[in-house]
């Protein structure tokens, strides 16, 4: 009888802990996703200008109008740098693969190709943001 009376509170405690862990993981995931979205927004042309406008807090519309073209131009430049860096990385991976393929077994070459394909998908997804 004593065991039965202990099971209910113990079950409730374990269920509460489990629900807390699930909620904690979900909230942590959302926070991380939000921070990544902010970072990606900072790297976009429009996002860069808007975030810096929020930081600077222009004192007038005239100042805002003066700041906007400068921030937009910098945002465009950042986008160009990112695109060039992405292309450069892909070129280096192609050169690396050309150098490695003669040394690798067929199985190793297949694993390398699979890894490269996954990398390309990630780079393509990232470039669309």
* 75 or 125, higher pLDDT: 75
Give me the chain's average pLDDT, please: 85
Q: Is residue 127's pLDDT more than 90? A: no
* Chain segment 59-78, per-residue pLDDT in tens: 999 999 999 999 999 989 98
The sign of the torsion formed by the CA atoms of 79, 85, 90, 91 equals positive
Query: Quick one: pLDDT band at residue 128, thresholds 50, 70, 90?
Result: low
Distance between the two ends of the chain, CA-based, in angstroms?
61
Report the range out of 37-41, 49-53, 122-126 with the highest average pLDDT.
Answer: 49-53
Report the range out of 10-14, 43-47, 102-106, 115-119 with the highest average pLDDT.
Answer: 102-106
Q: Is residue 86's pLDDT more than 60? A: yes
């Amino acid at each position: 009888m004593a065991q039965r009376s202990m099971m209910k509170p113990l079950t409730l405690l374990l269920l509460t802990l489990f629900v807390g862990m699930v909620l904690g993981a979900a909230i942590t995931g959302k926070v991380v996703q939000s921070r990544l979205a902010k970072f990606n927004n900072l790297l976009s042309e429009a996002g860069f200008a808007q975030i810096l406008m929020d930081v600077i807090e222009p004192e007038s519309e005239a100042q805002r109008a003066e700041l906007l073209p400068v921030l937009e131009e910098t945002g465009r430049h950042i986008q160009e740098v990112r695109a060039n860096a992405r292309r450069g990385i892909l070129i280096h991976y192609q050169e690396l693969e050309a150098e490695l393929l003669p040394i690798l077994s067929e199985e190793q070459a297949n694993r390398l190709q699979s890894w490269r394909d996954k990398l390309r998908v990630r780079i393509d997804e990232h470039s669309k943001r």
